[in-house]
Amino acid sequence: MKIHPTAVVSPQADLAHDVEIGPLCVVEAGTVIGLGTHLASHVVLKRGTTLGADNQILDGAVLGGLPQHTSLPEQLGTLVVGDSNVVRENATLHRSLRAGECTRVGHHNLLMVGCHVGHDCVIGDHVVLTNNVMLGGHVEVGDRAYLGGGAAAHQFVRIGGLAMVGGYARVIRDVPPFFLLDGDTGMVVGLNRIGLSRAGLSSDAVKQLKAAYRVVYRQGLTWNEVQTTLGDRFGDGPAAELARFLTGGTRGFAQERRIPPGATIRIHDSHQDTLPHEDQADFRAEAG
């Protein structure tokens, strides 16, 4: 174990024998640090934080900070980080808002400079959050998803596995797995082809996803018809995973940037003016 003399490490912290802790780090009581984990300089691990093995936590990162909430309960939850993650400079990961629950980060993730992971988020494996990505509370990010720089996800949004979110995107609705969200408009613009290729999906699997994409966005079906058609046509494979994703969530789903004729219910302009902007979006999401 290597601990720099300027680091402040509580004797109530549970450290593996080969942990390295750099200068001016602070490790509070009630933390757990697994084998092979290295803290660079000025890293702060707050109480209730558990790190698995072989993590690299770089300069200025703060893990396990208090949830950003106007009414904090007396007892809080924890932060649990898996194995082989890299957390870059000045990233912040907050613990859960509720006792007995946790903010969870999986394995082999890369969280780049200035990322924020809010309380009660759940991040899968092999996820990339690039510089200054912001996740509100209770956001879920599936395996191998990629979020571009400055993207911001609203509370309770889900981002499916192998989805790609463009830089500076305003993510206010669930992003289905395997799809690409445009950073400028916050709308879906096709399959995440690069991500699918890197993940090794077969050409047959990609063809299946193309067919499922057409069902969701190109056939002008109602939402109930979309779910029924996906369930009938795709019993297994990635399209079946897509179908399962589309049965959950509370925020609605990102719409396609290219909207074909008949895909949404047309609302007369005078009636549109009487609906708040968010209500109009909900109506279109449910209709399309």
Domain boundaries, the chain: 2-197, 200-287
Active site residue 119: yes
Judge whether residue 71 has pLDDT over 90: yes
For the whole model, what pTM was predicted? 0.89
Pairwise CA distance, residues 182 & 43, whole Å? 34
Which residues neighbour 181 within 8 Å (Cβ) at sequence distance 6 or greater? 163, 164, 165, 166, 169, 171, 175, 187, 188, 189, 254
Active site residue 282: no
CATH hierarchy code of domain 2-197: 2.160.10.10
DSSP 177-228: TTEEE-TTT--EEEE-HHHHHHTT--HHHHHHHHHHHHHHHTS---HHHHHH
Return the CATH class of domain 200-287: mainly alpha
- Crossing angle of helices 238-245 and 223-233, in 10° steps, is 150
Considering the candidates 119, 142, 148, 166, report the single residue annotated as catalytic: 119
Report the percent of the chain where pLDDT is more than 90.
89
Tell me the pLDDT tens digit for each residue of 248-278.
999 999 999 975 555 544 444 444 333 344 4
Active site residue 138: no
Considering the candidates 137, 149, 183, 252, report the single residue annotated as catalytic: 137
Considering the candidates 94, 107, 120, 252, report the single residue annotated as catalytic: 120
Quick one: pLDDT at residue 260? 55
- State the first-to-last Cα distance of the chain, in angstroms, to the nearest integer: 58
Tell me the pLDDT tens digit for each residue of 145-203.
999 999 999 999 999 999 999 999 999 999 999 999 999 999 999 999 999 999 999 99
Residue type, 30: G
DSSP 191: E
Are 121 and 142 a contacting pair, CB within 8 Å? no
